[in-house]
Chain A
Amino acid sequence: MTDKKLLMGNEAIALGAIEAGVQVVTGYPGTPSTEALETIARYAKRCGIYTEWSSNEKVALETAVGAAYSGAKALVTMKQVGLNVASDPLMSLSYIGVKGALVLLVADDPGPHSSQTEQDTRVFGHFANIPVLDPATPQEAYELTKLAFELSHEFEIPVILRTTTRVSHSCGDVEVKAAEPAPVETIEEGFVKDRRWTIFPKLTAERHPWLESVQEKLSEHFSELNLNSVFGSGKIGIITSGVSALYVKEAVKTVRDFEELFTLFRVGTVYPFPEKAVLSFLKDIDQLIVAEELDPYLEEQVLQLIGKFHLPVDVYGKKNGFFPVSGEYNVDIVTDSINRALVTCGESLRLSHASPAVSREKLPPLPIRAPTLCAGCMHRTVFYAFKQAAKQLKKEAQTDTIFSGDIGCYTLGNAYPLNMVDTCLCMGAGISLAGGLSRTNPKAKHVAFIGDSTFFHSGIPAVINAVYNGADITLAVLDNRTTAMTGHQPHPGVGVTVLGNASKAIEIADVVKSCGVESVRTINTVDPDSLESCVKAAKEAMNFNGPSVLVFKGKCVGITKPDKYYKIKPEACKGCGFCIKELGCPALNLDGDKPVIQDNCSGCGLCAQICPSEAICIGGVKL
């Protein structure tokens, strides 16, 4: 019996995967993909699904590949930049193919809201010769997940289910097949030894023609699917995919009888491009508008088709300036872009906008509210300590310090007033970047910050390189015992798996020692008077000649309960505002001309340690 649930796109994907019989699920957390694996983990025991957070996306994919080689159905989840990490195994895998089924959920982030790139996984699929499905709603995400498993099994090739933030992180009413997911088939020991599993130049040469022929077969197959749907009978075509299809639908509806003016083509299977279906659509139109977020992928595909078949169709898209080339779309952007195209088409009709009472231009000046480290976050203490240590070194020896950051909550150390991130590139890059900077700026000190989960993800090879090549850098590991930014997932240092089972907790200090780092210290940041010891340790490490590591241990206030809070003694406070100006802590605010500490104080005590008037003290116990 079917059931209707309010599901986030990622939850819908999880239920779709379980219904498709997924047996092995791996991934690395990354916004906006994380909840898919977390949802499966909730059903893992009941449904008999092996689920793990892997140490990074490459490892996750390779683990899933092993399962799929054995005939199992496997799912790997990651965000778009995670696919870059996993691209090495993926590129080879396309030649080899799979036996059971292998689906990659890859979540793109137009905007971007929470990412370092605006890359387009549709294009990655094209590059890697891997089919890509592009759902628009949570309901479609559920359906297309099941289709992805079917295609992967039938064509023996990995399949990418590509979402965007507005699919993965939208909630909608989803009709699912059963109220509760049923157990999946038990994994059979099905690995059969065969030379096809061992990539080798000769094998690749043999498989390449097969890989190309699969692309053709899939393009033919996709042209038959009603996922690639046509609507309307107008002479102006609009081709679109993903959430943009919904924006187009809403935008054109503002015109009466829009189906007589436009013909809409929504592409659900974006790669391999369903050429036959698109060709028959192109034959009936004179003008074509292309509405898509991120890269001009559909646009390039249709331009090729138009050229190949000498079709008399004008195209209006990103390449000739009708649509924005970057950023997230919405109904208003799509409306304006289509209207621009309509003007050039010589069409007199226009799509209409609602006009708000208060337009953006009319708004009064509003405070800037940038994301910031939480009140009581241990990272603030460590950043502040290094800031003080660097100031002292500058004063004593005129030495500058360059701080390299990394990906996680602690990227927020870049914000005013801390300003403690001078470089940030991608997961695990800070350590090697600091090494590179040290070669070209030898007079300066070089500090790299990395979080615990990021250290395990891709920090270790960089530590080995620093030791091997003798880089004079200091690594500060911010160990708050969780993968905080993506919603507090466990990792190899925590001693617990995604299913809540105990596992061996790997000590970061032991890892760096075994990599050959000679100067290694572990510092506790939990003590409310830890600042002085942090500053001292930071300075000593920075003065050490060669690679040094400080592992700062603390807790994440997002998942621990504070035991106390601080208050300001009004009689002692001189109202200098030093605490606010130095720390930017969200618990500190001005009330009139004096700072106050608010309810969200979680008792780190950093402000009390820096107050020049010693006016801040423990206010009480938090229950």
Chain B
Amino acid sequence: MKYDILIAGVGGQGVVLASRLLALAAMKAGFHVSTAETIGMSQREGSVSSHIRIGDEISGSLIPIGQADLLLGLEPAETVRNLPFLKEGGKVLVNTHVIPPASRPPGSPEYDPAALLSFLCTYYPDVFCSDFTELADDVGTYRAANVAMLGAAAGARVLPFKEEILREVLDAEIPEKYRAVNDAAFERARKCIRFISDA
């Protein structure tokens, strides 16, 4: 067994936490796991990504081009930026909530989220798109968008372990005062995506 997941987003969106939760669940399911996160300067509003490699063997923590089985994109442009890592026929879930760059230095390209999303749909027509930031905000805080996306992945049945395992990890890892809101974000996204994927 080998399953590679890439999470992409912007510094501050909770990519590192989402990666840790998936890695813990994979370990609990009996696999080896290896992750690579962006830590340091880019965490300050820069592009960030986490590579999570799950399998029967230990490998280097960086996913090679074209080998990720699943791409969880917390932001449209960051999702598209990381598409070369996704394999042909790989699964992609994208949070359509746009985070414009804080500044536009002269000569930098215009950010056209609609064009990027339609590019995404051309190559991956069964992509799951939703505003998970808004969904998380509705249940309590926009900050839980990362956990909502994990719920969405569970709902789409694209994780290599049972969703109960991920839930147990969530219960154990999220501090009690944030648990209810994260649970709610997870559950709402899971149900919403399950409904679409089963339809």
| Complexed CA–CA distance, A46 and B23 (Å) | 28
- Residues of chain B from 75 to 125 with CB closer than 8 A to chain A in the complex: 77-78, 80-81, 83-90, 100-106, 108-111, 115-116, 119, 123-124
Q: Contact mask A430-451 → B, CB, 8 Å, 1/0? A: 0000000000000000000000
A393 at interface by CB-CB < 8 Å: no
The answer to whether A172 and B88 have CB atoms under 8 Å apart is: no
The answer to whether A172 and B61 have CB atoms under 8 Å apart is: yes
The answer to whether B81 and A366 have CB atoms under 8 Å apart is: yes
| Complexed CA–CA distance, A309 and B105 (Å) | 57
Q: Which residue of A lies closest to B115 (CB)?
A: A364
Q: Contact mask A409-430 → B, CB, 8 Å, 1/0? A: 1001001110000000000000
A485 at interface by CB-CB < 8 Å: yes
Q: Contact mask A339-367 → B, CB, 8 Å, 1/0? A: 00000000000000111111110011111
The answer to whether A368 and B101 have CB atoms under 8 Å apart is: yes
The answer to whether B103 and A584 have CB atoms under 8 Å apart is: yes
- Of the listed stretches B28-36, B153-161, B179-187, B189-197, name the one at the interface; the rest are far from the partner chain: B28-36
Secondary structure at chain A's binding surface: helix, strand, loop or mixed? loop
The answer to whether A354 and B101 have CB atoms under 8 Å apart is: no
| Complexed CA–CA distance, A353 and B86 (Å) | 13
Q: Which of B65, B105, B119 contacts A353 (CB 8 A)?
A: B65
In the assembled complex, the CB of A236 is this many whole angstroms from the nearest CB of chain B, namely 21
B142 at interface by CB-CB < 8 Å: yes
A590 at interface by CB-CB < 8 Å: yes
In the assembled complex, the CB of A247 is this many whole angstroms from the nearest CB of chain B, namely 5
| Complexed CA–CA distance, A250 and B40 (Å) | 27
| Complexed CA–CA distance, A249 and B103 (Å) | 42
Residues of chain A within 8 A of B11, CB atoms compared: 371
Interface centre among A354, A417, A580 (most CB of B within 10 A): A354
The answer to whether B36 and A170 have CB atoms under 8 Å apart is: yes
- Residues of chain B from 44 to 61 with CB closer than 8 A to chain A in the complex: 44-47, 58-61
The answer to whether A331 and B64 have CB atoms under 8 Å apart is: yes
Interface residues in A, total, Cβ within 8 A: 60
A332 at interface by CB-CB < 8 Å: yes
The answer to whether B40 and A114 have CB atoms under 8 Å apart is: yes
In the assembled complex, the CB of B30 is this many whole angstroms from the nearest CB of chain A, namely 10
Q: Which of A31, A172, A369 contacts B40 (CB 8 A)?
A: A31
A599 at interface by CB-CB < 8 Å: yes
B131 at interface by CB-CB < 8 Å: no
The answer to whether B101 and A356 have CB atoms under 8 Å apart is: no
| Complexed CA–CA distance, A366 and B45 (Å) | 16
In the assembled complex, the CB of B101 is this many whole angstroms from the nearest CB of chain A, namely 5
- What number of residue pairs across chains A and B have CB atoms under 8 A from each other? 183
With A250-B59, A358-B123, A364-B116 as contacts: A173 and B47 at CB distance below 8 Å: no
Q: Which of B34, B47, B83, B90 contacts A137 (CB 8 A)?
A: B34
Residues of chain B within 8 A of A335, CB atoms compared: 64
In the assembled complex, the CB of A377 is this many whole angstroms from the nearest CB of chain B, namely 9
In the assembled complex, the CB of A105 is this many whole angstroms from the nearest CB of chain B, namely 16
The answer to whether B12 and A369 have CB atoms under 8 Å apart is: no
Residues of chain A within 8 A of B41, CB atoms compared: 31, 113-114, 371, 412, 485
B24 at interface by CB-CB < 8 Å: yes
Residues of chain B within 8 A of A170, CB atoms compared: 34-36, 61
Q: Which of B34, B44, B77, B111 contacts A374 (CB 8 A)?
A: B44
Residues of chain A within 8 A of B103, CB atoms compared: 372, 415-417, 580, 584
Residues of chain B within 8 A of A416, CB atoms compared: 103, 105-106
With A367-B77, A371-B44, A412-B44 as contacts: A166 and B85 at CB distance below 8 Å: no
With A6-B27, A415-B103 as contacts: A370 and B46 at CB distance below 8 Å: yes
Q: Which residue of A lies closest to B142 (CB)?
A: A599
In the assembled complex, the CB of A414 is this many whole angstroms from the nearest CB of chain B, namely 11
B20 at interface by CB-CB < 8 Å: yes
B39 at interface by CB-CB < 8 Å: yes
A376 at interface by CB-CB < 8 Å: no
Q: Which residue of A lies closest to B141 (CB)?
A: A599
Q: Which residue of A lies closest to B88 (CB)?
A: A357
The answer to whether B32 and A371 have CB atoms under 8 Å apart is: no
A4 at interface by CB-CB < 8 Å: yes
| Complexed CA–CA distance, A113 and B101 (Å) | 20
A589 at interface by CB-CB < 8 Å: yes
Q: Which of A113, A359, A417 contacts B42 (CB 8 A)?
A: A113
Residues of chain B within 8 A of A169, CB atoms compared: 36-37, 39
- Residues of chain A from 382 to 429 with CB closer than 8 A to chain B in the complex: 409, 412, 415-417
Residues of chain A within 8 A of B58, CB atoms compared: 137, 139, 172, 246
With A32-B39, A172-B58, A356-B85 as contacts: A332 and B109 at CB distance below 8 Å: no
B130 at interface by CB-CB < 8 Å: no
| Complexed CA–CA distance, A522 and B172 (Å) | 46
Q: Which residue of A lies closest to B103 (CB)?
A: A584
A586 at interface by CB-CB < 8 Å: yes
| Complexed CA–CA distance, A97 and B124 (Å) | 61
The answer to whether A363 and B62 have CB atoms under 8 Å apart is: no
With A331-B60, A366-B109 as contacts: A371 and B84 at CB distance below 8 Å: no
- Residues of chain A from 571 to 623 with CB closer than 8 A to chain B in the complex: 580, 584-586, 588-590, 599-600
Q: Which of A250, A359, A412, A585 contacts B64 (CB 8 A)?
A: A250
With A169-B37, A171-B35 as contacts: A356 and B65 at CB distance below 8 Å: yes
| Complexed CA–CA distance, A369 and B41 (Å) | 12
The answer to whether B44 and A6 have CB atoms under 8 Å apart is: no
A228 at interface by CB-CB < 8 Å: no
13 sampled A-B residue pairs with Cβ under 8 A: A6-B33, A113-B42, A249-B59, A357-B66, A359-B84, A364-B115, A366-B77, A374-B44, A415-B103, A415-B105, A417-B105, A584-B103, A586-B45
8 closest Cβ pairs, A-B complex: A114-B40, A356-B66, A584-B103, A354-B66, A246-B60, A365-B109, A371-B46, A416-B105
